[in-house]
Amino acid sequence: MAIDLVLIHPCSRKQVYQSLADNLAAVEPPVWAGLLATYARKKGFSVALLDGDADELSAEAMASRVAELDPTLCAIVVYGHQPSASTQSMPGASAAASAIRKREPSRKVLMLGGHVAALPERTLREESVDFVCGGEGPVTLVELLSALQAGETDFAKVRGLYWRERGLIRHSAPAPLVQNLDDEMPGVAWDLLPMAKYRAHNWHCFGDLPRQPYASIYTTLGCPYKCTFCCIQAPFKSGEESLGHAATSNSYRRWSPASVIAQIDTLVNVYGVRNLKIADEMFVLHPKHVLGICDAIIERGYDLNIWAYARVDTVRDNMIDKLRRAGFRWLALGIEAASERVRDEVQKGFGQAEIRHTIEGLRAAGIRVIGNFIFGLPEDDAETMRATLDMALDLECDFVNFYSTMAYPGSPLYKTAIEHGWALPDSWSGYSQHSVDTLPLPTRHLSASEVLRFRDQAFQRYFSDERVLAFMSERFGVANTDHIREMTAKKLERRYA
């Protein structure tokens, strides 16, 4: 029997992560594809989901599976496991679209996701697809399915859609955001996914915890903050407009704690998940939401290993103990830079004292801290980048991520880069932090090559430092220190200018 909808999560891990994909990086479930599957099912459509990453499917293999399933519509979902991962997924998405078009020229294909919503007309011009979505996706997806099954050829009533008509690109009115998340999109369609294949990050399980089973969920969508390097709101802006939101405001929607714990119940009791990522761009924000979820987990007595994102200035002292009791063993903090001048330029308005206070409070409660640092922010120079590395060493976080500044499509920084004619990557893979052709932004004082070289050297410097190895050995054991040495031995291939 033909199926209504096939959702494709494209395969791009090897290109994005190089050798890190083998055993260091996580294998993430495609949360957005799973949410879209749930939404479409709730509207009465039959759905299949192909996870090219987890199942290591080539573009041709995915095209063959689509042909076998014979759907009314095939949707290629270009959402990543974090907002910045959308653009770097485009090479895999493009390959899948081309393979489907080559095998079945008449197959109807839609592309959607954060990158697509940021650049809808360009995506439609460049990719082998019939339609692209200019918003978050759920409403557009089901309205397009209904139109195709009704034999419609005029798609003006399908909200949020871009398509070609007589050689011209047309688009309809924006689609609204999904408002009732609990009822319309109550979690991921886990039964459609190869759950045994997902794997936590290496650091998430320091201390010799097994990295599988693993899953990730959203408890919120969007972010109220306006960091200029972030593209989180790209797929939501047109939907915000259709709902009458001011252009300067960001939407931030939440699933209820009851809905979130229902998902966690399924993951724990059906799939045996202990390692869990809260994928929200900003989870630790509203106390009622955060503490409501914590209370539900504590009530059930689950022994979880959870990590989530927070800001230095959103972790309140009265949250910390309950977060740890609920199983939040790691929080990722966007510290970004040592220089307050550099942080202020990108709307990170907190001081050094706040950084130390938050880290000390988390550490005292037994919550591990991942420090996220960015080199090459617009005001960075050689001195401020060295200061950021020194700060990372001094703070002794339990793990760190070092990034180069990217102008991701959909971010304010991308618009600034276009306006000023700054060099951007020649390919979408160049927006990955770990690819061969990574090309970060230059700063007002340094070239892109200088920024990237410093970032790579800083990573080696940090994880080779004897102080770092000593405190990691003390906290996690000698075996994990050996693992860190193996990690630093994996050198990324780069193209420095």
Q: What is the pLDDT of residue 491?
A: 81
From residue 282, how far is each of 143, 301, 307, 312, 474 by CA, in Å?
Answer: 30, 25, 12, 11, 30
What are 315's two structure tokens? 């972790």
pLDDT confidence tier of residue 375, bands split at 50, 70 and 90 = very high
Model pLDDT for residues 423-432, shown as the tens digit of each residue: 999 999 999 9
- In Å, the largest CA–CA distance within the chain is 67
Q: Is 5-171's fold the same as 200-219+255-405+440-488's?
A: no
Averaged pLDDT score across all residues of the chain: 92
- For residue 433, is pLDDT > 60? yes
The predicted pLDDT at position 358 comes to 93
Side chain identity at 215, as an amino acid letter? A
Higher pLDDT, 41 or 282: 41
Residue 32: per-residue pLDDT: 96
pTM > 0.85: yes or no: yes
Arch. (CATH architecture) of 200-219+255-405+440-488: Alpha-Beta Horseshoe (3.80)
CATH of the structural domain 5-171, one choice from 3.40.640.10, 3.40.50.280, 3.40.50.20, 3.40.50.150? 3.40.50.280
CA distances from 415 to 132, 317, 378, 412, 432 (A): 21, 37, 14, 5, 18
Q: In 3D, which of 79, 84, 74, 83 has the Cα closest to residue 53?
A: 79
The pLDDT tens digits of the residues spanning 315-327 come to 999 999 999 999 9
Q: How far apart are the first and last CA of the chain?
A: 54
Q: What's the mean pLDDT in 286-295?
A: 97
Band (pLDDT 50/70/90 cuts) for residue 341 is confident
CA distance 120 to 239: 14
Least confident piece of the model among 45-59, 71-85, 163-177, 297-311: 71-85
pLDDT, tens digit (0-9, with 9 covering 90-100), for 410-419: 999 999 999 9
Question: What is the rounded radius of gyration, in angstroms, for the C-alpha atoms of the chain?
Answer: 22
Domain boundaries, the chain: 5-171, 200-219+255-405+440-488
pLDDT in tens, 43-101: 999 999 999 999 999 999 999 999 999 999 999 999 977 767 789 899 999 999 999 99
The answer to whether the CB of 264 falls within 8 A of the CB of 217 is: yes
- Pick the more confident residue, 130 or 17: 130
Share of the chain above pLDDT 70, in %: 95
The H or E element that residue 65 is part of is helix 59-69
* pLDDT for 228: 86
